Structures are given as C-alpha cells and as structure tokens.
C-alpha cells in the first residue's frame, strides 16, 4: 500500500490560515492525502476566528492544535505551502523528501479591523479561497514531475 501524499501548510503562528487549510484538505481529501499544519513560532492556540469560520462552513478542527514546524523535520513531506509572507520569507528546515514548496499569499483575517461580523466574514472569505484552491489541487497528479507540480501549485495561487 502506497502512503498518501503529505502536504504541510505553514504560517508563522499556526493559529488561523494554516489551521483552516489543514482542516479543509483533511475533509476534502479524506484518506487519499495527509494534511498537516505548523508554524515557525506557534501561537499555542487556534484563533477563535478560524474556529468560528470553519464551524460556519461545516468543517471540523477537532484534534487540531498549534504546532511547531520542528515536529515535522523527520517526517516525509511532499508539498509545503506557505500562506503568510513572514513564513515564506523565513528559512525553512530541510524537509525529508525534498518537497515541492510554493507560496499562496492570503490575508490574515486576525488583522481585520471591524465588527465581529466583519472579522468573521474576512475569515470565511479566506477559508473559501483555500477551499477553492484545495479542490483544484486535488485534481492534480501529485505524483507527477516536481517541476510541473511546482508550476501547477504556483498557478493555483493566482487563479
């Protein structure tokens, strides 16, 4: 039995965007993919905006927690997707398996200024964008050539 591809989503704090991505991909991919998230400086909690947005969209974050990317240094990873500028600018650990790395810049809804409803809508917008990209990602041959895969993943960030 072949191990499903492993995708690691990175943000600095691993409190919002990367947590939402992990949950969405786990839901969409089921047993066909491994979905993880981590941060270079984990916040130690999942932001309430992420939890509320995911709940409204029908996704579970049960058993998820804020994690350090150090937890994944010895785990084979196929794809690393950074979701914030700070994480993309940092020197990442050397991952086992030499994964394809790509950056999907998305705004941090925790910095949204406004009412609680406006802040929640900002988080839902980011979650919906992640959902759209991840649905398209699951249609890609993840076992394909890494050069082509890298280009395909990068294109998902801009479409």
The catalytic residues are 11, 84, 92
Encode 44-57: b = buried (16+ Cβ within 10 Å), e = exposed. Answer: eebbebbbebbeeb
Hey, what are 69's tokens?
A: 């990317």
3-state SS assignment for residue 116: helix
**How far is C-alpha 147 from the geometric centre of its chain's CA atoms?**
21
Number of other residues whose CB lies within 10 A of the CB of residue 31:
7
Asked if residue 79 lies in contact with residue 7, where contact means CB atoms within 8 angstroms, the answer is: yes
3-state SS assignment for residue 146: helix
Asked if residue 104 lies in contact with residue 136, where contact means CB atoms within 8 angstroms, the answer is: no
């Amino acid at each position: 039995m072949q191990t499903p591809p492993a995708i690691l989503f990175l943000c600095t704090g691993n409190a919002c965007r990367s947590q939402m991505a992990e949950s969405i991909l786990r839901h969409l991919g089921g047993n066909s993919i491994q979905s993880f998230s981590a941060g270079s400086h984990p916040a130690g909690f999942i932001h309430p905006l992420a939890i509320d947005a995911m709940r409204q969209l029908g996704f579970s974050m049960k058993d998820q927690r804020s994690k350090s990317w150090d937890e994944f240094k010895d785990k084979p990873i196929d794809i690393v997707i950074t979701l914030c500028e700070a994480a993309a600018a940092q020197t990442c650990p050397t991952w086992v398996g030499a994964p394809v790395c790509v950056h999907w810049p998305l705004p941090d809804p925790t910095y949204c200024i406004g009412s609680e409803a406006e802040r929640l809508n900002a988080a839902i917008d980011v979650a919906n964008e992640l959902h759209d990209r991840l649905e398209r990602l699951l249609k890609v041959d993840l076992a394909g050539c890494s050069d082509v895969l890298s280009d395909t993943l990068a294109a998902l960030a801009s479409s």
